[in-house]
Amino acid sequence: MLLFDTDGVPPADRVDAYREAVVTETGSCAIDHEPGADGHVHKRIKSWHFAPFALYHTSGSGFRYWQTARHLRQDSWNTVSIVTVPAGRGGFIWNDHQQDMAARDLAITNKSAGYWEVNWTGTGATLCLLADAAHVGLPDSMIHTAAPHVAHSPVTPLLLDHMRALRRGADQITEGPVADDLGQATLSLVRALIASVGAPPDTRREIAEETRFDRVLAYVRAHLTDPDLTPARVAAVHNISLRSLYRLCDEHGLGLAQWIIRRRLEGARRDLAAPEHAHRTIEAVARSWGFTSPTHFSRRFREAFATTPRAWRATATSPTAGD
């Protein structure tokens, strides 16, 4: 959902209008802008809600956003923020800790952490998850301990891929049980990330056990296109036996092997209908979703969708498909 766009605001009013929109969403903060090439501020914010998180995508000309203990005293709203920079190059500062930020980097902090800042120069973007700290349910001290070390967590790439997937599908999933389930999966990954580098061993093991199923699904989603993605590989990555993996999935009503195949088929089906993939052969699309045998892919596709890949592509891309 589009939350704010400077294109509809006179240049002289953009700084104040942007600040008002951001403070309403994220609480008390400070913002400094870098004008674009035309000397004006350009910003666009989209937002979605996956309770207990809000997801924000901000893009445009350069800026700095920061919060301090003073801002927490002003509104008494302690929040947890997870930030990445999907476009451009930026930076993250947390007290004495500083790091460059690009597409594969992640930063986490909360409002009680003292001083923290995210920034970019030139044209860029941030993707940010934000929730009330009470909903995350972990001590501030654990979040503070984790903040400088998230780059070393095995959960970090899973959460990054999860955030990107949320962003891609957010406009189609805005409310209802699916959005709620995604919010809870996000919460599990955030808790697992913080605990993996910020908690004592006993707590780390407890939260790892609590969040294992969501981490398994996040890993599978991130590697759906790998031809060698198998339940055995998933089990090995998560340091559990294959039998334990199947038991975990059974407890949640999931048949893992069939779930993987179904998600791959759905991805291939989308690509076969997409104009940007029209130049690719059916076999190339199938391979990009982990199907190494064209015959196996065609059979599975027909079983799932009651049509062949070729017939589906012809129907989905015909001039009357949208009528």
pLDDT at position 246 is: 92
Superfamily of domain 2-222: Jelly Rolls (2.60.120.10)
Q: How far is CA 112 from CA 21, 64, 99, 119, 238, in A?
A: 22, 19, 19, 19, 32
pLDDT digits 0-9 by tens, 76-114: 889 999 999 999 989 999 998 999 999 999 999 998 888
pLDDT at position 173 is: 74
> In this structure, what token pair is assigned to residue 41?
């501020």
pLDDT at position 310 is: 95
pLDDT digits 0-9 by tens, 138-184: 999 999 999 999 999 999 999 999 999 889 888 877 666 778 888 88
| Phi, psi values for residue 67, rounded to 5° | -135, 150
Which parts of 63-150 fold into alpha helices (H)?
Answer: 69-75, 133-136, 140-146
Contact 54, 67 (CB under 8 A): no
**Are the folds of 2-222 and 224-323 the same?**
no
pLDDT at position 296 is: 94
Instruction: Decide: pTM greater than 0.85.
Output: no
**Type of residue at 32:** D
- pLDDT below 50 — which residues of the chain? 323
Tell me which fold the domain 224-323 belongs to: Arc Repressor Mutant, subunit A (1.10.10)
In the chain, where the domains are located: 2-222, 224-323
